[in-house]
Amino acid sequence: MHRGLHSVALIAAIVASMVLATGVAAAAPVAAPAAQPAPPGPWGDFYDPPVPLPPGRNGDLIRTQPSHLAVSVGDLPGAATRVLYRSEDTHGAPTAVSGTYIAPTAPWKGKGPRPLVVLAPGTQGEGRQCAPSMMLNSLVQYHPPFDLMTEYELPAMDSLLADGIAVVFTDYPGLGTPGPHPYANRLALGHAVLDAARAARRLPGNGLDPHGPVGLWGYSEGGGAVASAAELQPGYAPDLDLEGVYAGAPPARDMPAMLDRVDGTLFAGAIGYAINGFEASYPELRPVVDKYLNDRGKRIVAATATQCDMETMQYGLQHTSSWTTTGQSLSQIMMADPTWRKIVEEQQIGTLKPQSPVLIASNVNDDLVPNGQVRQLAAQWCAKGATIEYQQIDLPPLLPGSVLGHGIPMVTNLPAANAWMVDRFNEVPAPSNCAAV
């Protein structure tokens, strides 16, 4: 029953995005406030971490709170707990990350103890109100005038819970907790994913074996986050029994190519998320951004710092060449500037070997994450001897620039990804098609 209920949320997300894309395209950009408070809600001041953070290990719980799932019937799909846990940022400094752990009502009928999956969400936005752990408490979230959002990861969460698999969402740093969110930053997001698993395992009364199996699941930004986590895990979190990783459409290799693909699409405004996040993580980038962004570009980037996906679509179909002082696109500037180039090189995923099997999926006509760079990631991991199954999705072009070629495979590939993950927990030998990649 709860699979169908959570599908309502996906429909709501699609409808809302269409409304915003057509109804607010001409909205004027506004400057972001210097610091964004957490939105009011049943969580109170939960998302404001103590300063300084208490001493501890990565993955230690800072605080917890019961969380009510808005889409639920009786005790289905499970009991949710809001968590605030300790992690590391890009440079190894301690940081607080929020999330939600859901203990499923359904029994696990497979081999061994109940498994745990970390669900790394796709792009939610840059504002604190975009945290999945907040949106799980309401089917649709609205902050006037244009901030309409719903949690589109509910079908994936529901599918896993229905099989008796425990799920922990990570909000990533800067969503829920004070920002900026380090959007598409491989180290900050990879750490947050792995430490979410540790936090869930340390939660009292979680119904998990303390040494039980773990899986990672993500698509789009989440795909990049779990891909990073997969290759960081042997060195960063060897205590986790990582059985499998599903990385759908991971933006992994070529940041300028990603910007070129996104530039001018319905989701062009999300480039602002990346600029805000990288400026915060790499202060040496600030004078570069200030030099190359014109007044219009600065207003748009500042505005996106407090927005969720659908509000940011008001900047869709714009080209970043109209945001710059030189008339160049941001990808051209990124490749020409040495400070940017150094950061781009540091963000590449594929330099380390994952020890666990990985399923990588990509639509050949993905209009956000270039298929070629996803296939290249698979090939690089294969060359290092990793167990990789590369799954190419052959959908025809679907209104290029509308992001349908990126978003639809997230839904249509869900059953195959779920079956692959269940097989890993049931100790079925992991397939590999490296010879064909």
Domains and CATH numbers, the chain: 2-254+346-436 (3.40.50.1820)
**pLDDT tens for each residue of 24-81:** 333 333 333 457 898 899 999 999 999 999 999 999 999 999 999 998 877 889 999 9
Per-position b or e across 246-257, b if 16+ CB within 10 A of its CB: bbbbbbbbbbbe
**pLDDT tens for each residue of 119-145:** 999 999 999 999 999 999 987 878 777
285 contacts 339 by C-beta, under 8 angstroms: yes
Is the link from the previous residue into 145 a cis peptide, with omega within 30 of 0? Answer: yes
pLDDT for 124: 95
Confidence band for 15, pLDDT divided at 50, 70 and 90: very low
Whether residue 249 has pLDDT greater than 60: yes
Beta-carbon contacts of residue 296 (< 8 Å; ≥ 6 apart): 29, 322, 323
pTM given for the model: 0.92
Q: Quick one: tokens of 71?
A: 């889409």
Dihedral of alpha carbons 370, 374, 376, 377, sign? positive
3-state secondary structure of 103: strand
Whether residue 6 has pLDDT greater than 90: no
180 contacts 174 by C-beta, under 8 angstroms: yes
Whether residue 157 has pLDDT greater than 90: yes
Q: Quick one: tokens of 319?
A: 């080209």
